[in-house]
Structure 1
Amino acid sequence: MVKLSQYEIEREANIARNRALLEELELKQAVVDLGIPRTETKVSPVTKAKPVQSSRRPRPEKLEAEAPRRQSLRLRKETVDPNESPSKRKRREAELEEQRAKEAEERLEAEERARITKRPRHHDLGISTLAEEGLNELSALSSALYSVAQTSQPRRVGDPEAFSFDDNKKDEACLAELRARLQQLQVVSRAKVTQDRVYSAAYHPEITKDLIFFGDKHGQLGIWDARAPAEEVTDEDGDVTSIDGEGGKYWRLQLHWPPTSKSSISCVKFDPVDSHNVYTSSYDSTIRSLSFTSGISREIFSMEDNTLISCIDLTPSGHEIWISDSHGRATHMDLRESKKFRRYGLSDAKIGCISVNPTRPHFVLTASNNRSLKIWDVRNLQKMTTELSEGVPPTLGSPPASGDLDTTLDYTGREFDSTTVTAYLQAKPGKSCLRAEWRHDKSVSSAYWDPRGRGIVSTSYDDTLRLWDIDSTRLGSSSPFASSRPFSRFHHNCQTGKWLTVLRAQWSPNPDVYPHFTIGNMTHSLDIYSCKGDLVTRLTDSKRISAVQAVTCSHPGIVERAASGNASGRCVLWAVSDVD
């Protein structure tokens, strides 16, 4: 017997241990390869749970015809017949050349059509062109708009002296009554009204239904009938079921074109006299008007220098509109004559918000990125326009008696840059143009007059809300205000960042109740504050809302109704649940 060395003994021991280990792990093939006989045991395979299949049958995909591909001339060259006559060859080459020219012309026409579809639309557009829905949806939208257009519902203006108490107990009583009514609000309807981020909103004054208009990032206007019966669909088996997760009915109109971020709807306003007409401003430098009666959207204003229109507001008469833009200018236009407009350089930075006083329309409020909030007496700006157009030194005469446009003056297409306006403000006649100014710590994102025309609320990137209360004696004087300090200032997180719409504090347009405003909260709630800065209530629903309600608005006639929208296009109606 051959004596094994110590190395071979250790090697045999390692082989034996490996065999035993493979047997324990039940690795059949490895054991067979090692030549170890063993009895195989049948192991049942491990089964995996199948995913839940949809009860609906998938729709067959539509087969689209493939477009002809372009080929090189080498591949398209036909085989030449050596016996072909010269005349026949010339005819064939002429036919090929004609075919190539025709294909090139068709290709150029297709490219031109593609370029045209990407250009802004400046002509009149019907609802059938704006909507992407079917015929039934269009008829439902037309009937909904026509029904609210039967009655004229002008915007009501508050009394400047309303809710102005010397006794604090009366203020506390009004606040308690308002809190008792608004604390009952809860989520009663939700729907994805727009396809992209909500930028602006407006609540229609109709009291028989909740009709809310939302403008989104890509120029789409969502019209939401929040309390309408839920939509029903019929499947292939004929069963009728309601659509879960959506409340009411909504329609989407592509008002501003093309649908890109350059067409974002920055503001939505109803005509203050006839609420069946809605105005929308867009970053594409246009303003459009949609009529409920005719169903036609027409362009009423356009800028040629690609200026972003940030905000619009109308005077109570409905004949004039004020427009703010990203170049720090404010444009005043007469809607009765579209060519009559005046443009003033009121700031060296973007004016993000402009607001017309509802009771004294000659007072205009501007909020700018240069950290300033300013109150302008536009009667004197109109006077400046007249004097400079005549080329005479500016001398201040008596201003117009009202804030309406003086149609005897020629304002056609006149523009005054910031240098001209600054020089006029420094002169003695122009000192009455700027009535008040307050500088914030950072950019002022919004500032609005309340329905009484005496209260102001501003939001700023310095995470602060500020409130002013200007009495009638100061507004009635012709001299600058002695002091413009806010009477209330409190913290509110306004750091929305890049992906959220800027938070704006919006007054309730209802003049019959204690003045209050709504604003979104970064903690996904909807905050309601009084005109004195008291927190009335904080509306929240963690089970149904998980996003910042950045854009808000309130019903002009019903206190217990408010709406909000978020960055995904989903909108919420807050109301009392038992109200039909």
Structure 2
Amino acid sequence: MPELSEYELEREANIARNRALLEQLELKDAVGQLGVPAKTKAPAKSKAKPVQPSKRVKREREVEAPRRQSSRLKKEVVDPNESPSKKRKREAEHEERLRKEEEERREAEEKAREAKRPRHQDLDLTTLAEELEPPELITLRAALQTAVTTPLPKRVGEIDAFVFDEDKKDDAAVKDLRNRLQKMKVVARAKVTQDRVYSAAYHPEVSKDLIFFGDKHGQLGIWDARAPPDEVADEDDDVAAADDKEGGKYWRLQQHWPATSKSSISSVKFDPMDSHSVFTTSYDCTIRRMSFISGISQEIFSSDETLITSVDLPPDGNELWISDAAGGLTHLDLRQDKSKARWYGLSDQKIGSVSINPTTPHFLLTASNNRQLKIWDSRKLQTLMVGSDSGGTNVDGPPQTGAEFSFDTVQEFVESKKGKGCLRGEFSHGKSVSSAYWDPRGRSIVSTSYDDTLRLWEFDAAKYNSSTAFPSFTPFSRMKHNCQTWLTILRAVWTPNPDVYPHFTIGNMDHSLDIMSCKGDLIARLSDRSRITAVQAVTCSHPSIVERAATGNASGRCVLWAPPDLVA
């Protein structure tokens, strides 16, 4: 065998070093090319498959104004022997063409500007659902008509309901609830909205599971979760497997405009008097009400540039209390013009949620970024009058409307003798309070905070009749819960059903749905690793049926949780 040259020896040494390095790094393909057997195994694929949308709707692109073209490129070739008459005709045609192009450019620019402006006019169902085909629009109208066959007012619990003298009775109620709710499974999935789900509400109709979801781009998704789904084949004419296809039917309405993150729907509420219309608040600084009867969406409130974060209505449905990012609450009487609304600066930072006590509607609960949870007496708050000093009240007539009261003005009033009892209680959290709500009895409160803690309060209803601050405003229970998420804010939401032991739902970063009692007991932790692979950030429950809950995630996919024997 001939002796290798110094160059060849160096080459062989380099090959050996490279092979050893590749083996150390476990680079399968590269090692294979060098003749080294692979040692690594392919990673196991997730068993969970995303639900396959039955229809793909392209979002309309923004209208772009035509670009100006170079005069040099558009320059015409002129015949040097052109007659005067032809020259005049050519110049006239050129001027006419330039005029039309300018008109088209201005029209396109106006359409582009219009596409970015909020829509303040009344909108009919055809406009809201302009991307739906006529048969889909017919089925939507039919679903909404089912929801208005009878009035379904918001039901309010008794303030002393489920108040037991013995802990054994609480334990028995929790055990019974646990036996019912732990059986719930995923019975339907669908991509109801095109973008991240921000809010949700469960309609009280009992013959259907009709759930409304608001998304990041102002879209309102309506999901009839148990309706027979349409069989839709893919490009290869293959129909999705039962576990992969969507359940029920859904429709998407562009309730707020433009279709960007500036129009995120922050909350969804049904009319508490009959549930025949739905209210939506949006980051476009407007509130709209869509009637299921007429199919008309009407703007009922708008602010200049202040983001609206939430809204709540008392059981009589005649008023709105609106929270905003400027730290204020706005009171709007729906029987008056929206110009009569009154704004109160209750915080020096954003108020993320407002909740009206259902049994004592003059108690308002606010959660703020300044870490404070507060209870206000709206009767006192509405005695503030324009042009008065810090202690002034309107004693000569009804409260003045169309006024604004700054944070400093409200603070001075609260600290004055005449403002005594306006602020009934406050509690400081470790970090921002992301949400706080009253239970259906108006007796318990649950709050969520970025300090990763859920807190529970329970009040003695006998103290409600006093006019002074609550003697104690300390939560009786604190539960650790991971709320550090870049997704939609996790909120603990009470089930609105007053006939069952009070409990609430909240999403879990472990891709589960947590259900907890008003005493802080974990009732159920629902999950399905084979079908759920995302955080169920937004939750809601049926107002009358105990074993019903719905959730939504950051991709617009939504889930119905119910007993497994439920016929879809």
Q: Is 1:521–2:521 an aligned residue pair?
A: no
Q: 1:541 to 1:82 in 2, by over 3 A?
A: closer
Unaligned runs of 5+ in 2: 13-64
Give per-residue Cα distances to partners, 1:101-155, cap 9 Å, x unaligned. Answer: 2211211111111211221111111111111210010000000001111110001
CA contact (8 A) 1:277 1:290 kept: yes
Q: Is 1:508–2:507 an aligned residue pair?
A: no
Residue identity opposite 2:509 in structure 1: M
Distance across 2 between alignment mates of 1:222 and 1:545 = 20
242-251 vs 307-316, which moves further: 242-251
Q: Is 1:421–2:398 an aligned residue pair?
A: no
Aligned to 2:451: 462
Per the TM alignment, residue 234 of structure 1 is displaced from its structure 2 partner at its CA by 7.1
Aligned to 1:89: 87
The 5-angstrom pairing of residues 356-367 of structure 1 reads: 356-367=356-367
Distance across 2 between alignment mates of 1:144 and 1:199 = 23
Residue identity opposite 2:349 in structure 1: A
The 5-angstrom pairing of residues 327-476 of structure 1 reads: 327-337=326-336, 338-385=338-385, 388-389=386-387, 391=388, 394=391, 409=398, 411-476=400-465
Per the TM alignment, residue 471 of structure 1 is displaced from its structure 2 partner at its CA by 1.1
Aligned to 1:121: 119
SS of 1:384's equivalent in the other structure is coil
Aligned to 1:26: none
Q: 1:517 to 1:236 in 2, by over 3 A?
A: closer
SS of 1:339's equivalent in the other structure is helix
CA contact (8 A) 1:362 1:378 kept: yes
Residue identity opposite 2:448 in structure 1: T
Aligned to 1:60: none
Give the alignment partner of residue 484 of structure 2, picking from 495, 504, 507.
495
Aligned to 1:249: 249
TM superposition score normalised by structure 2: 0.85
Aligned to 2:276: 276
CA contact (8 A) 2:224 2:248 kept: yes
Residue identity opposite 2:536 in structure 1: Q
Per the TM alignment, residue 271 of structure 1 is displaced from its structure 2 partner at its CA by 0.5
Distance across 2 between alignment mates of 1:237 and 1:553 = 37
**RMSD of equivalent CA atoms:** 2.5
SS of 1:552's equivalent in the other structure is strand
Give per-residue Cα distances to partners, 1:360-406, cap 9 Å, x unaligned. Answer: 11000000000000000010011123xx45x47735699xxxxxxx9
Q: Is 1:536–2:523 an aligned residue pair?
A: yes
Q: 1:537 to 1:237 in 2, by over 3 A?
A: closer
CA contact (8 A) 1:233 1:242 kept: no
Residue identity opposite 2:521 in structure 1: D
SS of 1:430's equivalent in the other structure is coil
Aligned to 2:262: 262
Distance across 2 between alignment mates of 1:237 and 1:516 = 47
Q: Between Structure 1 and Structure 2, whose CA radius of gyration is higher?
A: 1
Distance across 2 between alignment mates of 1:316 and 1:529 = 25
Distance across 1 between alignment mates of 2:394 and 2:104 = 65
CA contact (8 A) 1:230 1:242 kept: no
Distance across 1 between alignment mates of 2:73 and 2:285 = 49
Distance across 2 between alignment mates of 1:295 and 1:272 = 18
TM superposition score normalised by structure 1: 0.83
CA contact (8 A) 2:220 2:255 kept: yes
The 5-angstrom pairing of residues 550-565 of structure 1 reads: 550-565=537-552
Unaligned runs of 5+ in 1: 1-8, 22-66, 399-405
| Identity among equivalent pairs (%) | 65
Distance across 2 between alignment mates of 1:434 and 1:392 = 18
Give per-residue Cα distances to partners, 1:490-522, cap 9 Å, x unaligned. Answer: 1111111x2x11100000100011100001111
Aligned to 2:191: 192
CA contact (8 A) 1:509 1:554 kept: yes
Per the TM alignment, residue 443 of structure 1 is displaced from its structure 2 partner at its CA by 0.3
Distance across 2 between alignment mates of 1:426 and 1:381 = 12
Q: 1:101 to 1:182 in 2, by over 3 A?
A: same
Aligned to 2:558: 571
69-78 vs 183-192, which moves further: 69-78
Q: 1:263 to 1:436 in 2, by over 3 A?
A: same
Distance across 2 between alignment mates of 1:545 and 1:378 = 43
Distance across 2 between alignment mates of 1:187 and 1:237 = 28
Give per-residue Cα distances to partners, 1:68-111, cap 9 Å, x unaligned. Answer: 98643333333333333445423422331232122112111111
CA contact (8 A) 2:377 2:423 kept: yes
* Paired residue total: 509
Give per-residue Cα distances to partners, 1:228-271, cap 9 Å, x unaligned. Answer: 11212479999998885201111111101111111000000001
Per the TM alignment, residue 285 of structure 1 is displaced from its structure 2 partner at its CA by 0.2
Aligned to 2:70: 72
Q: 1:173 to 1:75 in 2, by over 3 A?
A: closer
Per the TM alignment, residue 331 of structure 1 is displaced from its structure 2 partner at its CA by 0.2
Distance across 1 between alignment mates of 2:564 and 2:400 = 52
Residue identity opposite 1:369 in structure 2: N
Per the TM alignment, residue 169 of structure 1 is displaced from its structure 2 partner at its CA by 1.1
Residue identity opposite 1:516 in structure 2: H
Residue identity opposite 1:327 in structure 2: A
SS of 2:384's equivalent in the other structure is helix
